[in-house]
Amino acid sequence: MTSSTFREAILNRRMLICIFLGFSSGLPLFVLVQLVPAWLRTEGISLAAIGFFALIQFPFNWKFFWAPLLDRYSLPFLGRRRGWMLLTQLSLLVSIAATGWVNPAFSIWTVVYLTFAVAFFSATQDIVIDAYRRELLPDIELGLGNTIHVQAYRLSGFIPGSLALILADHMPWSSVFMITAAFMLVGIVMTLCISEAINDPQKPQSLREAVVLPFKDFFHHRGVSAGLYILAFMVLYKLGDNMATALSTPFYIDLGFSLTQIGSIAKVAGAVAAVVGGVVGGLAMIKLGINRSLWLFGVVQVVTILGFIWLSQAGANPWVLGVVVALEYLGVGLGTAAFVAFIARTTNPVFAATQFALFTALAAVPRTFASAVTGVIVESVGWTQFFVLCTLLAIPGMLLLFKVAPWSASTENTAD
Protein backbone atom coordinates (compact mmCIF):
# COMPACT_ATOMS: atom_id res chain seq x y z
CA MET A 1 0.00 0.00 0.00
CA THR A 2 1.49 3.39 -1.00
CA SER A 3 1.56 6.31 1.44
CA SER A 4 -1.09 8.19 -0.56
CA THR A 5 -3.37 5.14 -0.61
CA PHE A 6 -2.87 4.70 3.13
CA ARG A 7 -3.77 8.35 3.80
CA GLU A 8 -6.87 8.02 1.62
CA ALA A 9 -7.92 4.91 3.54
CA ILE A 10 -7.73 6.83 6.82
CA LEU A 11 -8.69 10.40 5.95
CA ASN A 12 -12.06 10.04 4.25
CA ARG A 13 -15.74 10.54 4.95
CA ARG A 14 -16.37 6.82 5.35
CA MET A 15 -14.15 6.63 8.43
CA LEU A 16 -16.02 9.58 9.96
CA ILE A 17 -19.30 7.76 9.41
CA CYS A 18 -17.87 4.68 11.14
CA ILE A 19 -16.95 6.81 14.18
CA PHE A 20 -20.39 8.35 14.69
CA LEU A 21 -22.41 5.23 13.91
CA GLY A 22 -20.09 3.18 16.14
CA PHE A 23 -20.78 5.59 19.00
CA SER A 24 -24.53 5.35 18.40
CA SER A 25 -24.33 1.56 18.31
CA GLY A 26 -22.39 1.20 21.56
CA LEU A 27 -24.19 3.70 23.80
CA PRO A 28 -27.40 1.68 24.46
CA LEU A 29 -25.48 -1.50 25.33
CA PHE A 30 -23.35 0.34 27.89
CA VAL A 31 -26.53 1.83 29.37
CA LEU A 32 -27.69 -1.74 30.01
CA VAL A 33 -24.43 -3.26 31.27
CA GLN A 34 -22.96 -0.30 33.19
CA LEU A 35 -25.52 2.37 34.06
CA VAL A 36 -28.55 0.21 34.87
CA PRO A 37 -26.69 -2.17 37.27
CA ALA A 38 -25.20 0.80 39.15
CA TRP A 39 -28.61 2.46 39.38
CA LEU A 40 -30.30 -0.71 40.62
CA ARG A 41 -27.59 -1.41 43.21
CA THR A 42 -27.77 2.10 44.67
CA GLU A 43 -31.56 1.69 44.86
CA GLY A 44 -31.12 -1.38 47.05
CA ILE A 45 -31.79 -4.13 44.49
CA SER A 46 -30.02 -7.45 45.31
CA LEU A 47 -27.04 -8.75 43.34
CA ALA A 48 -29.01 -11.84 42.33
CA ALA A 49 -31.81 -9.70 40.87
CA ILE A 50 -29.31 -7.46 39.07
CA GLY A 51 -27.62 -10.55 37.62
CA PHE A 52 -30.93 -11.88 36.29
CA PHE A 53 -31.51 -8.47 34.68
CA ALA A 54 -28.97 -9.56 32.08
CA LEU A 55 -31.70 -11.77 30.61
CA ILE A 56 -33.31 -8.68 29.09
CA GLN A 57 -30.34 -8.68 26.70
CA PHE A 58 -31.84 -11.67 24.85
CA PRO A 59 -32.40 -9.55 21.69
CA PHE A 60 -28.61 -9.37 21.21
CA ASN A 61 -28.53 -13.18 21.13
CA TRP A 62 -31.53 -13.70 18.87
CA LYS A 63 -31.32 -10.73 16.50
CA PHE A 64 -30.48 -12.98 13.56
CA PHE A 65 -34.12 -14.11 13.63
CA TRP A 66 -35.41 -10.75 12.43
CA ALA A 67 -32.28 -9.62 10.54
CA PRO A 68 -33.69 -11.09 7.26
CA LEU A 69 -36.72 -8.80 7.62
CA LEU A 70 -34.43 -5.76 7.54
CA ASP A 71 -32.71 -7.14 4.43
CA ARG A 72 -35.98 -7.88 2.67
CA TYR A 73 -38.16 -4.85 3.55
CA SER A 74 -37.68 -1.08 3.53
CA LEU A 75 -39.51 1.68 5.39
CA PRO A 76 -41.18 4.40 3.26
CA PHE A 77 -38.50 6.99 4.09
CA LEU A 78 -34.71 7.48 3.84
CA GLY A 79 -34.01 4.15 2.11
CA ARG A 80 -33.54 0.55 3.23
CA ARG A 81 -30.73 1.05 5.75
CA ARG A 82 -31.18 4.66 6.90
CA GLY A 83 -34.93 4.30 7.46
CA TRP A 84 -34.47 1.46 9.94
CA MET A 85 -31.52 3.29 11.51
CA LEU A 86 -33.55 6.42 12.23
CA LEU A 87 -36.51 4.48 13.62
CA THR A 88 -34.35 2.51 16.06
CA GLN A 89 -32.36 5.56 17.15
CA LEU A 90 -35.49 7.60 17.93
CA SER A 91 -36.92 4.64 19.83
CA LEU A 92 -33.72 4.36 21.88
CA LEU A 93 -33.78 8.06 22.69
CA VAL A 94 -37.28 7.72 24.17
CA SER A 95 -36.86 4.38 25.97
CA ILE A 96 -33.53 5.28 27.64
CA ALA A 97 -34.90 8.63 28.85
CA ALA A 98 -38.08 7.02 30.21
CA THR A 99 -36.22 4.37 32.24
CA GLY A 100 -34.87 6.80 34.83
CA TRP A 101 -38.33 8.04 35.77
CA VAL A 102 -39.27 4.65 37.28
CA ASN A 103 -38.62 3.70 40.91
CA PRO A 104 -37.20 0.14 40.72
CA ALA A 105 -38.05 -0.56 44.36
CA PHE A 106 -41.77 -0.23 43.59
CA SER A 107 -42.04 -0.88 39.82
CA ILE A 108 -39.32 -3.39 38.98
CA TRP A 109 -41.36 -4.92 36.14
CA THR A 110 -41.73 -1.52 34.48
CA VAL A 111 -37.95 -1.27 34.56
CA VAL A 112 -37.77 -4.75 32.99
CA TYR A 113 -40.10 -3.72 30.14
CA LEU A 114 -38.25 -0.48 29.42
CA THR A 115 -34.78 -2.02 29.52
CA PHE A 116 -35.98 -4.86 27.29
CA ALA A 117 -37.17 -2.23 24.81
CA VAL A 118 -33.72 -0.61 24.93
CA ALA A 119 -32.12 -4.01 24.26
CA PHE A 120 -34.47 -4.79 21.35
CA PHE A 121 -34.03 -1.43 19.60
CA SER A 122 -30.27 -1.52 20.25
CA ALA A 123 -29.90 -5.00 18.73
CA THR A 124 -31.96 -3.94 15.72
CA GLN A 125 -29.85 -0.80 15.25
CA ASP A 126 -26.73 -3.01 15.33
CA ILE A 127 -28.12 -5.19 12.52
CA VAL A 128 -28.67 -2.20 10.26
CA ILE A 129 -25.41 -0.41 11.08
CA ASP A 130 -23.35 -3.58 10.52
CA ALA A 131 -24.99 -4.12 7.13
CA TYR A 132 -24.60 -0.45 6.19
CA ARG A 133 -20.92 -0.49 7.15
CA ARG A 134 -20.31 -3.64 5.08
CA GLU A 135 -21.93 -1.95 2.06
CA LEU A 136 -20.16 1.38 2.67
CA LEU A 137 -16.55 0.22 2.93
CA PRO A 138 -14.49 -1.02 -0.02
CA ASP A 139 -12.48 -4.17 0.65
CA ILE A 140 -9.24 -2.26 1.28
CA GLU A 141 -10.89 -0.31 4.13
CA LEU A 142 -12.76 -3.17 5.84
CA GLY A 143 -10.15 -3.81 8.53
CA LEU A 144 -9.59 -0.16 9.37
CA GLY A 145 -13.29 0.73 9.22
CA ASN A 146 -14.32 -2.09 11.52
CA THR A 147 -11.52 -1.26 13.96
CA ILE A 148 -12.61 2.39 14.06
CA HIS A 149 -16.23 1.29 14.56
CA VAL A 150 -15.28 -0.92 17.52
CA GLN A 151 -13.19 1.81 19.17
CA ALA A 152 -15.97 4.39 18.80
CA TYR A 153 -18.36 1.75 20.15
CA ARG A 154 -16.15 1.38 23.22
CA LEU A 155 -15.61 5.10 23.67
CA SER A 156 -19.36 5.54 23.95
CA GLY A 157 -19.03 3.73 27.28
CA PHE A 158 -17.64 6.95 28.75
CA ILE A 159 -21.17 8.39 28.75
CA PRO A 160 -23.19 5.82 30.75
CA GLY A 161 -20.16 4.31 32.50
CA SER A 162 -18.31 7.46 33.58
CA LEU A 163 -20.14 10.74 32.99
CA ALA A 164 -23.53 9.38 34.08
CA LEU A 165 -22.14 7.83 37.29
CA ILE A 166 -20.40 11.08 38.25
CA LEU A 167 -23.60 13.03 37.57
CA ALA A 168 -25.58 10.54 39.69
CA ASP A 169 -23.69 11.76 42.78
CA HIS A 170 -25.08 15.26 42.18
CA MET A 171 -28.52 14.97 40.54
CA PRO A 172 -31.59 12.69 40.37
CA TRP A 173 -31.40 9.49 38.33
CA SER A 174 -34.21 10.74 36.08
CA SER A 175 -32.00 13.63 34.95
CA VAL A 176 -29.01 11.30 34.51
CA PHE A 177 -30.95 8.99 32.18
CA MET A 178 -32.32 11.93 30.16
CA ILE A 179 -28.84 13.40 29.66
CA THR A 180 -27.51 9.97 28.66
CA ALA A 181 -30.38 9.46 26.20
CA ALA A 182 -29.65 12.82 24.57
CA PHE A 183 -26.34 11.45 23.28
CA MET A 184 -28.37 9.31 20.83
CA LEU A 185 -28.67 12.56 18.86
CA VAL A 186 -25.12 11.88 17.64
CA GLY A 187 -26.37 8.90 15.62
CA ILE A 188 -29.64 10.55 14.61
CA VAL A 189 -27.87 13.56 13.10
CA MET A 190 -25.39 11.33 11.26
CA THR A 191 -28.20 9.18 9.85
CA LEU A 192 -29.93 12.29 8.49
CA CYS A 193 -26.70 13.62 6.95
CA ILE A 194 -25.49 10.50 5.11
CA SER A 195 -26.90 8.78 2.04
CA GLU A 196 -27.53 5.12 1.33
CA ALA A 197 -24.31 3.20 0.72
CA ILE A 198 -25.89 1.35 -2.20
CA ASN A 199 -28.52 3.33 -4.11
CA ASP A 200 -29.93 0.32 -5.95
CA PRO A 201 -29.52 -2.63 -3.56
CA GLN A 202 -30.10 -6.19 -4.71
CA LYS A 203 -32.61 -7.18 -2.07
CA PRO A 204 -33.61 -10.82 -1.55
CA GLN A 205 -36.53 -11.69 -3.81
CA SER A 206 -38.48 -13.35 -1.02
CA LEU A 207 -38.42 -13.62 2.74
CA ARG A 208 -37.60 -17.31 2.43
CA GLU A 209 -34.55 -16.47 0.33
CA ALA A 210 -33.46 -13.86 2.89
CA VAL A 211 -33.69 -16.44 5.68
CA VAL A 212 -32.34 -19.64 4.11
CA LEU A 213 -29.46 -18.65 1.86
CA PRO A 214 -27.11 -17.08 4.49
CA PHE A 215 -27.18 -20.24 6.65
CA LYS A 216 -26.93 -22.58 3.69
CA ASP A 217 -23.92 -20.63 2.40
CA PHE A 218 -22.12 -20.78 5.76
CA PHE A 219 -22.24 -24.58 6.13
CA HIS A 220 -21.86 -25.29 2.40
CA HIS A 221 -18.39 -23.70 2.23
CA ARG A 222 -17.08 -25.28 5.45
CA GLY A 223 -18.99 -28.47 6.14
CA VAL A 224 -21.21 -29.04 9.15
CA SER A 225 -18.46 -30.14 11.55
CA ALA A 226 -16.13 -27.19 10.86
CA GLY A 227 -19.09 -24.79 10.93
CA LEU A 228 -20.18 -26.01 14.36
CA TYR A 229 -16.64 -25.64 15.72
CA ILE A 230 -16.60 -22.02 14.52
CA LEU A 231 -19.98 -21.27 16.10
CA ALA A 232 -18.89 -22.84 19.40
CA PHE A 233 -15.70 -20.78 19.33
CA MET A 234 -17.69 -17.58 18.88
CA VAL A 235 -19.65 -18.41 22.03
CA LEU A 236 -16.73 -19.47 24.22
CA TYR A 237 -13.72 -17.32 23.24
CA LYS A 238 -14.70 -14.32 25.38
CA LEU A 239 -16.73 -16.17 28.02
CA GLY A 240 -14.19 -15.70 30.83
CA ASP A 241 -13.65 -11.94 30.51
CA ASN A 242 -17.36 -11.31 29.80
CA MET A 243 -18.23 -13.03 33.08
CA ALA A 244 -15.47 -11.23 34.97
CA THR A 245 -16.71 -7.80 33.91
CA ALA A 246 -20.46 -8.53 33.92
CA LEU A 247 -21.02 -7.18 37.45
CA SER A 248 -17.92 -5.02 37.66
CA THR A 249 -19.73 -1.90 38.85
CA PRO A 250 -21.57 -3.68 41.73
CA PHE A 251 -18.20 -5.32 42.56
CA TYR A 252 -16.52 -1.92 42.89
CA ILE A 253 -19.44 -0.64 45.00
CA ASP A 254 -19.22 -3.65 47.31
CA LEU A 255 -15.48 -3.02 47.79
CA GLY A 256 -16.30 0.46 49.10
CA PHE A 257 -15.52 2.73 46.12
CA SER A 258 -17.74 5.79 45.61
CA LEU A 259 -19.61 6.33 42.35
CA THR A 260 -17.29 9.24 41.57
CA GLN A 261 -14.22 7.01 42.06
CA ILE A 262 -15.77 4.35 39.85
CA GLY A 263 -16.64 6.88 37.17
CA SER A 264 -13.32 8.74 37.23
CA ILE A 265 -10.93 5.82 37.79
CA ALA A 266 -12.39 2.47 36.77
CA LYS A 267 -14.48 3.53 33.81
CA VAL A 268 -11.89 5.93 32.39
CA ALA A 269 -9.04 3.45 32.82
CA GLY A 270 -11.13 0.67 31.30
CA ALA A 271 -12.28 2.65 28.29
CA VAL A 272 -8.82 4.08 27.52
CA ALA A 273 -7.13 0.70 27.92
CA ALA A 274 -9.71 -1.03 25.70
CA VAL A 275 -9.17 1.56 22.95
CA VAL A 276 -5.37 1.27 23.24
CA GLY A 277 -5.67 -2.51 23.14
CA GLY A 278 -7.86 -2.35 20.06
CA VAL A 279 -5.49 -0.03 18.18
CA VAL A 280 -2.40 -2.02 19.17
CA GLY A 281 -4.19 -5.24 18.29
CA GLY A 282 -5.19 -3.93 14.87
CA LEU A 283 -1.62 -2.88 14.08
CA ALA A 284 -0.14 -6.12 15.44
CA MET A 285 -2.43 -8.22 13.26
CA ILE A 286 -0.77 -6.80 10.17
CA LYS A 287 2.37 -8.72 11.16
CA LEU A 288 0.90 -11.61 13.15
CA GLY A 289 -2.19 -12.47 11.12
CA ILE A 290 -5.58 -13.27 12.61
CA ASN A 291 -4.83 -16.80 13.81
CA ARG A 292 -1.73 -15.99 15.85
CA SER A 293 -3.38 -12.85 17.20
CA LEU A 294 -6.28 -14.92 18.52
CA TRP A 295 -3.78 -17.14 20.35
CA LEU A 296 -1.58 -14.40 21.83
CA PHE A 297 -4.36 -11.96 22.68
CA GLY A 298 -6.44 -14.81 24.12
CA VAL A 299 -3.64 -15.65 26.55
CA VAL A 300 -3.56 -11.99 27.64
CA GLN A 301 -7.34 -12.13 28.20
CA VAL A 302 -6.99 -15.15 30.48
CA VAL A 303 -4.05 -13.82 32.50
CA THR A 304 -5.51 -10.35 33.14
CA ILE A 305 -8.66 -11.82 34.73
CA LEU A 306 -6.40 -12.80 37.64
CA GLY A 307 -6.02 -9.11 38.48
CA PHE A 308 -9.57 -9.06 39.82
CA ILE A 309 -8.55 -11.66 42.41
CA TRP A 310 -5.85 -9.25 43.60
CA LEU A 311 -8.37 -6.37 43.71
CA SER A 312 -10.90 -8.45 45.68
CA GLN A 313 -8.23 -8.94 48.36
CA ALA A 314 -6.81 -5.40 48.27
CA GLY A 315 -10.15 -3.71 48.94
CA ALA A 316 -10.92 -0.06 48.15
CA ASN A 317 -7.43 0.89 46.95
CA PRO A 318 -7.74 3.41 44.06
CA TRP A 319 -4.27 2.59 42.67
CA VAL A 320 -4.95 -1.13 42.54
CA LEU A 321 -8.34 -0.42 40.96
CA GLY A 322 -6.76 1.63 38.17
CA VAL A 323 -4.00 -0.90 37.44
CA VAL A 324 -6.27 -3.96 37.48
CA VAL A 325 -8.98 -2.38 35.33
CA ALA A 326 -6.43 -0.99 32.84
CA LEU A 327 -4.76 -4.39 32.38
CA GLU A 328 -8.08 -6.26 32.14
CA TYR A 329 -9.49 -3.95 29.48
CA LEU A 330 -6.20 -3.89 27.59
CA GLY A 331 -6.71 -7.65 27.25
CA VAL A 332 -10.35 -7.09 26.32
CA GLY A 333 -9.33 -4.61 23.60
CA LEU A 334 -6.68 -6.91 22.14
CA GLY A 335 -9.01 -9.92 22.16
CA THR A 336 -11.87 -7.97 20.62
CA ALA A 337 -9.69 -6.67 17.77
CA ALA A 338 -8.72 -10.21 16.78
CA PHE A 339 -12.21 -11.58 17.37
CA VAL A 340 -13.92 -8.95 15.20
CA ALA A 341 -11.37 -9.59 12.45
CA PHE A 342 -12.16 -13.31 12.69
CA ILE A 343 -15.89 -12.61 12.35
CA ALA A 344 -15.28 -10.37 9.34
CA ARG A 345 -13.15 -13.06 7.72
CA THR A 346 -15.86 -15.66 8.32
CA THR A 347 -18.67 -13.52 6.87
CA ASN A 348 -19.68 -13.71 3.23
CA PRO A 349 -20.25 -10.12 1.98
CA VAL A 350 -23.24 -11.31 -0.07
CA PHE A 351 -25.11 -12.21 3.15
CA ALA A 352 -23.50 -9.65 5.47
CA ALA A 353 -26.60 -8.51 7.39
CA THR A 354 -27.89 -11.91 8.47
CA GLN A 355 -24.49 -13.57 8.96
CA PHE A 356 -23.14 -10.59 10.92
CA ALA A 357 -26.27 -10.69 13.07
CA LEU A 358 -25.81 -14.42 13.68
CA PHE A 359 -22.12 -14.18 14.57
CA THR A 360 -22.42 -11.11 16.80
CA ALA A 361 -25.48 -12.64 18.48
CA LEU A 362 -23.46 -15.75 19.29
CA ALA A 363 -20.68 -13.55 20.64
CA ALA A 364 -23.23 -11.95 22.98
CA VAL A 365 -24.40 -15.31 24.38
CA PRO A 366 -21.82 -15.47 27.21
CA ARG A 367 -22.49 -11.86 28.18
CA THR A 368 -26.21 -12.55 28.54
CA PHE A 369 -26.42 -16.06 29.95
CA ALA A 370 -23.30 -15.86 32.11
CA SER A 371 -24.25 -12.43 33.43
CA ALA A 372 -27.67 -13.76 34.40
CA VAL A 373 -26.16 -16.17 36.93
CA THR A 374 -23.11 -14.24 38.11
CA GLY A 375 -25.03 -12.58 40.92
CA VAL A 376 -26.12 -15.97 42.28
CA ILE A 377 -22.57 -17.36 41.97
CA VAL A 378 -21.02 -14.37 43.76
CA GLU A 379 -23.52 -14.53 46.61
CA SER A 380 -22.75 -18.26 46.96
CA VAL A 381 -18.92 -18.32 46.77
CA GLY A 382 -17.75 -14.70 47.12
CA TRP A 383 -15.95 -12.41 44.69
CA THR A 384 -12.50 -14.05 44.92
CA GLN A 385 -13.64 -17.58 44.08
CA PHE A 386 -15.90 -16.17 41.39
CA PHE A 387 -12.92 -14.66 39.54
CA VAL A 388 -11.03 -17.94 39.84
CA LEU A 389 -14.01 -19.60 38.11
CA CYS A 390 -13.96 -16.93 35.37
CA THR A 391 -10.30 -17.72 34.66
CA LEU A 392 -11.06 -21.43 34.28
CA LEU A 393 -14.04 -20.76 32.00
CA ALA A 394 -11.76 -18.83 29.61
CA ILE A 395 -9.80 -22.00 28.77
CA PRO A 396 -12.31 -23.94 26.56
CA GLY A 397 -12.43 -21.12 24.01
CA MET A 398 -8.63 -21.18 23.79
CA LEU A 399 -8.63 -24.94 23.18
CA LEU A 400 -11.01 -24.50 20.22
CA LEU A 401 -8.31 -22.45 18.48
CA PHE A 402 -6.65 -25.76 17.56
CA LYS A 403 -9.66 -26.39 15.31
CA VAL A 404 -10.73 -22.97 14.03
CA ALA A 405 -7.48 -20.99 13.91
CA PRO A 406 -4.30 -23.10 14.14
CA TRP A 407 -1.08 -21.24 14.88
CA SER A 408 0.55 -22.19 11.57
CA ALA A 409 0.54 -19.31 9.12
CA SER A 410 -0.11 -21.77 6.29
CA THR A 411 -3.60 -22.37 7.70
CA GLU A 412 -4.46 -18.72 8.17
CA ASN A 413 -7.62 -19.20 6.13
CA THR A 414 -8.90 -22.22 8.07
CA ALA A 415 -12.19 -20.50 8.82
CA ASP A 416 -12.81 -19.60 5.21
Residue type, 255: L
Q: Tell me which of 33-42, 167-176, 333-342, 343-352 is least confident.
A: 343-352
Residues 228 and 179 in one domain: no
- Kindly give, in sequence order, each residue whose CB lies less than 8 Å from that of residue 171, ignoring residues fewer than 6 positions away: none
DSSP 8-state assignment for residue 247: T
Q: Do 268 and 330 sit in the same domain of this protein?
A: yes
**Could you tell me if residue 87 is inside a domain?**
yes
Integer Cα distance of 151 and 146 in angstroms: 9
Q: Judge if 12 and 143 occupy the same domain.
A: yes
Residues 226 and 205 in one domain: no
Residues 394 and 270 occupy one common structural domain:
yes
pLDDT, position 271: 73
Residue 281 sits in which domain range? 222-347+382-416
pLDDT for 188? 95
Q: Are residues 416 and 280 located together in one domain of the fold? A: yes
Cα dihedral 261, 262, 267, 272 sign: positive
Last residue of one domain, picked from the residues 209, 235, 268: 209
Instruction: From 309, 292, 299, select the one nearest 251 (Cα to Cα).
Output: 309
Of residues 293 and 221, which shows the higher confidence score? 293
- Decide if 357 is inside a domain: no
| pLDDT for residue 350 | 65
Same domain (yes/no): 327, 282: yes
Q: The pTM is what?
A: 0.69
What pLDDT shows up at residue 200? 56
- Tell me whether residue 369 is in a domain: no
Confidence at residue 411, expressed as pLDDT on a 0 to 100 scale? 46
Q: CATH number of the domain that 48 lies in?
A: 1.20.1250.20
Distance CA 222, CA 355 (A): 14
Residues 182 and 309 in one domain: no
For residues 186 and 231, state if they share a domain.
Answer: no
Q: DSSP assignment of 289-311, as one string?
A: HHHHHHHHHHHHHHHHHHHHHHH
Q: How far apart (Å, rounded) are the C-alpha atoms in residues 266 and 247? A: 13
Q: Which of 209, 238, 253 is the last residue of a domain?
A: 209
Are 205 and 254 members of one domain?
Answer: no
227 and 190 assigned to the same domain: no
My answer on whether 258 and 173 are in the same domain is: no
Q: What is the pLDDT of residues 60-106, one digit of tens each?
A: 878 888 888 887 788 888 888 899 999 999 999 999 999 888 888 78
- Domain assignment of residue 246, yes or no: yes
Residue 394: pLDDT over 80: yes
398 pLDDT band, cuts 50/70/90, is very high
| 367 occurs within a structural domain | no
| pLDDT at residue 413 greater than cutoff 70 | no
Residue 375, domain member (yes or no)? no
Q: Does pLDDT of 272 surpass 60?
A: yes
What does the pLDDT look like over 238-269, one tens digit per residue?
A: 888 888 877 788 888 888 888 888 877 877 78
Please provide the average confidence, as pLDDT, over all residues in the chain: 82
- What's the domain count of the chain? 2
Q: For the segment 8-52, what is each residue's pLDDT rounded down to a tens digit? A: 545 578 888 989 999 999 999 999 888 888 888 887 777 777 777
> Is 354 within a domain?
no
* pLDDT of amino acid 242: 81
Instruction: Count how many residues are written for the chain.
Output: 416
For residue 285, tell me if it sits in a domain. yes
Query: Which whole number is the average pLDDT over 299-305?
Result: 89
Determine the pLDDT at residue 212.
Answer: 81
CA distance 25 to 357: 13
Last residue of a domain, one of 176, 209, 242: 209
Residue, of 169 and 209, whose pLDDT is higher? 169
pLDDT at 416: 42
